[in-house]
Structure 1
Amino acid sequence: MIIYKQFTFDSAHYLPNVPEGHRCGNMHGHTYKLTVYLEGELDKDKGWLIDFGDLKKEIDPLIRMIDHKLLNEIPGLENPTSEILAAWLWNRIKPQLPLLKRIELNETPTSGVIYEGA
């Protein structure tokens, strides 16, 4: 069984390694959408993989670390592309939620990254 839960956060960033004049070299912001997927066997007694409330409790502190922040100022996110941010999120979620299967991170409604760990 695979379940998912979605979270949103707003963050600013700039990409320091793009060519001069590239618009993403300027500070700008996104409303990100993070979708966290868990996979495993259902608890036979409860009938679920995990309580969605418990999943939210695990993810919310991480979201608070990056919501309404300049991502470039967060250690490990000095070059915060969507790909690097997805891996950064994965590395913080996976130890807390071993059933983590994948994350999907959208920086716009039409652009994003899917990450399934390294």
Structure 2
Amino acid sequence: MLIYKEFTFDSAHFLPNVPDGHKCKEMHGHTYRLRVWIEGKPDPQLGWVMDFAVLKKIIKPVVSTLDHKCLNNIPGLSNPTCELIAVWIWDQLKPSIPAMKRLELHETPTSGVVYEGE
């Protein structure tokens, strides 16, 4: 079974490696939507895969690190594409959430990435 918890955060960034003249080379912002998926079987006693409150407590500090920040200034995110932000988030969360199966990161309502680790 898969469960998920969703979060949003607002951040600014620019993509330093795109060609000159590309609109993403300039500083701009997004309202990101992050969905973290956990895989497991419901606990026979409690009836859930994981307590959503515990999941929120683990994820919230990572989201707070990104929220209302310039992503380029966060160590490990000097080129903060949606794909590399997703990998960065995964790397922050996976040690605390071994059952994490995937994460989705949307930088706009119609654009995003699904990451399932390497």
Aligned pair 1:77/2:96, yes or no? Answer: no
Unaligned runs of 5+ in 1: none
Aligned partner of 1:3 in structure 2 is 3
Q: Distance in 1 between matches of 2:111 and 2:90?
A: 18
Q: Deviations over 1:34-81 (max 9, x none)?
A: 000000111110000111111000000001101000000000000000
Aligned partner of 2:26 in structure 1 is 26
2:103 alignment partner, SS class: strand
Unaligned runs of 5+ in 2: none
1:69 alignment partner, SS class: coil
Aligned partner of 2:88 in structure 1 is 88
Map 1:97-108 to 2 at 5 A.
97-108=97-108
1:24 alignment partner, SS class: helix
Aligned partner of 2:57 in structure 1 is 57
Aligned partner of 2:12 in structure 1 is 12
TM-score, scaled to structure 1: 0.99
TM-score, scaled to structure 2: 0.99
- AA partner of residue 117 (structure 1): G
Q: Which runs of 4+ in 1 moved over 2 A?
A: none
**How many residues align structurally?**
118
Q: Distance in 2 between matches of 1:80 and 1:61?
A: 19
